[in-house]
Amino acid sequence: MAKLNSEEIQKALPSIALWSFSDERGGVIRQTFIFPDFKKAFGFMSKMADFSESIDHHPEWFNVYRRVEITLTTHDSGGLSEKDINWAREADRVGAQLQGEEK
């Protein structure tokens, strides 16, 4: 998977507006998801683990109680790739679904 250039990154960022971009390590995106409880946070991680396996792309993530901190980059490409953008979009979709279940 090819590393995205600056123009491609700027074009993709609006579709993942809740993620922050940094040019460190050739380009990374980050987001912290907060869920109602640990069970929802773990459910999110479980669903995203299945998705990660299906596209062979795995996040750097950290979980404490109801918080899941995620950093995405494509190590093989030396920076941000389309796989990271796609993973972020799916995480936003799954996260919103699980966060909305509390109501």
Look up the CATH number of the domain holding residue 73. Answer: 3.30.1360.20
40-69 confidence digits (pLDDT tens): 999 999 999 999 999 999 999 999 999 999
Q: Is residue 6 part of a domain?
A: no
Q: What is the pLDDT of residue 103?
A: 40
| List of residues 6+ apart from 64 with CB closer than 8 A | none
pLDDT bin (cut points 50, 70, 90) of residue 14 is very high
Looking from the CA of 52 toward its CB, the CA atoms found within 13 Å total 16
Residue 44 lies in a domain: yes
Confidence of residue 101 (pLDDT cuts 50, 70, 90): low
Strands of 28-34's sheet in order across: 20-22, 28-34, 67-72, 60-64
pLDDT band at residue 99, thresholds of 50, 70 and 90? confident
Residue 1, in any domain of the structure: no
DSSP state, residue 22: E
pTM tops 0.85, yes or no: yes
In the predicted model, what is the mean pLDDT of the chain? 93
Q: Is residue 87 part of a domain?
A: yes
Question: How many domains, in total, are found in the chain?
Answer: 1
What does residue 57 show for φ and ψ, rounded to 5 degrees? -145, 125
**The pLDDT of residue 24 is above 80:** yes
Share above pLDDT 70 across residues of the chain, in percent, rounded to a whole number: 97
Residue 32 domain flag: yes
Per the structure, the complete domain to which residue 73 belongs is given by: 26-100
